[in-house]
Copies of this chain bind each other. A is one copy, B any other.
Amino acid sequence: MNSYIAKSTRVRSTPFTNRIEEYGVQSYTVYNHMLLPASFKGLEEDYDHLKKNVQLWDVSVERQVQIKGPDAAFLTQLMTCRDLSQAKDHICYYAPIVDDQGKILNDPLIMKVSSDTWWISIADTDVLLYAKGLAIGQKLNVEISEPNVNPLAVQGPKSFELMKRVFGDEILNLKFFHFKRFLFQDHNFLIARSGWSKQGGFEIYVDNDEKGLELYDALYEKGKDLDVRPGCPNLIERIEGGLLSYGNDMNMNDTPFECGLDPFVSFNENINYLGKSTLQEQKENGVTRSLVGLKLQIDKISLSKTLSIFQNEQLIGDLRSACFSPKFQCCLGIAMIDTAYQNHSAPLNLMIDGQEIIAEMTSIPFTK
């Protein structure tokens, strides 16, 4: 069932909202109390276009929690299980934020933007309030704020050509997950080679609304022959690519190990973070459930809540995200499943709209 989204000041607009509404946005979601476009011409058409061309994404919702001051490095490390002790000021770190039980509260990119200032580029929870609570509770010497920074992503295979036209050849030397400042007109923009798709691209951290709009227009103008369009993170593309979504595939009842985030959990004895001993125990004992991929024997699917998954009438987990995949020509899902049942060959069952559906387990990312 289709319903409209109600506008208000609480659900914040972005500096680019006028632009994308001019170009035509079909649906929105809300993320960090802010509008995030979810489709323009339809999920599948947006997907096809993204895989072949270049899109401008208004991802202002990727808010920055800025931690600044003498204790900034300490507090930032305290919140994440990733080892940031050797963090460089030109690299983005995917770094799960965890609580004292090792449960995931968010899965941001973290950047050390200057010697005493860190940006936590957050998924959809108020990390700022967690940081404030910890800083106040431990009497840390930091300033915590949400600066007026509104990321604009340029995504798709032709993003490299488009960015070269606007920022010059040098942008092509930027390595994956590196960031650097680049000049547009008279303004320096922090730009990372990153983005929430597997099609390649950049994220521009726009810290000046007016300059950002000029940049938006320049990207649009110079990309006309590349068929540049407004776009947004695409459900199909991100599931096919195995990109996990906080709030969908993982939530604050899950640990990094349960979500396959092992590479981002460090037990370096020189770092101190919350939940470290609990995670150490889980690493030794192993997990009792974990995220897996599913292939579903159904033609189409649109999920608005998790669905229980059964094997031989036993509840063994839940489906958290799903879509029809043009590439795999079947529906794909991401599910949390008890490990005890992951090696059984018996099929899985779930009820979708009153119909019993068969599914089989596979790995993430999906392979043919």
Residues on A lying within 8 angstroms of B by beta carbon are: 1-13, 17, 21, 25-30, 33, 38-39, 99-100, 105, 124-127, 129-138, 235, 245-248, 274, 302-306, 320-321
Q: How far is it, in angstroms, between the C-alpha of A58 and the C-alpha of B36 when the chains are bound? A: 24
**23 pairs of residues in contact across A and B, judged by CB atoms under 8 Å:** A3-B21, A4-B5, A5-B27, A7-B303, A7-B304, A8-B245, A8-B247, A8-B248, A9-B247, A9-B303, A10-B124, A11-B30, A12-B305, A13-B304, A99-B136, A125-B129, A126-B129, A127-B129, A129-B130, A129-B133, A130-B132, A133-B136, A136-B137
A3 x B30 contact (CB < 8 A)? no
Report the copy number of this chain in the oligomer: 2
**Closest approach, in angstroms, between the C-beta of A224 and any C-beta of chain B?**
24
Residues of B within 8 A of A136 (CB): 99-100, 133-134, 137, 274
Q: Write out the residue numbers on chain B whose beta carbons fall within 8 Å of the beta carbon of A8.
A: 29, 235, 245, 247-248, 303-304, 321
Which chain B residues border A302 with CB–CB below 8 Å? 7
Q: In the complex, are the beta carbons of B7 and A5 less than 8 A apart?
A: no
- The minimal Cβ–Cβ distance linking A335 to chain B, given in whole angstroms, is 11
Expressed in whole angstroms, the minimum distance between the Cβ of A204 and any Cβ of chain B is 22
Q: What B residues does A39 contact at CB under 8 A? A: 6
Please indicate the chain B residues that have their CB under 8 angstroms from the CB of A10 in the complex. 29, 124, 245-248
> Which 4 residue pairs are nearest across A and B when measured between Cβ atoms?
A137-B137, A133-B133, A10-B247, A6-B38
Chain B residues within 8 Å of A3, by CB: 4-5, 21, 25-28
Residue among A7, A26, A131, A245 with the highest chain B CB neighbour number at 10 A = A7
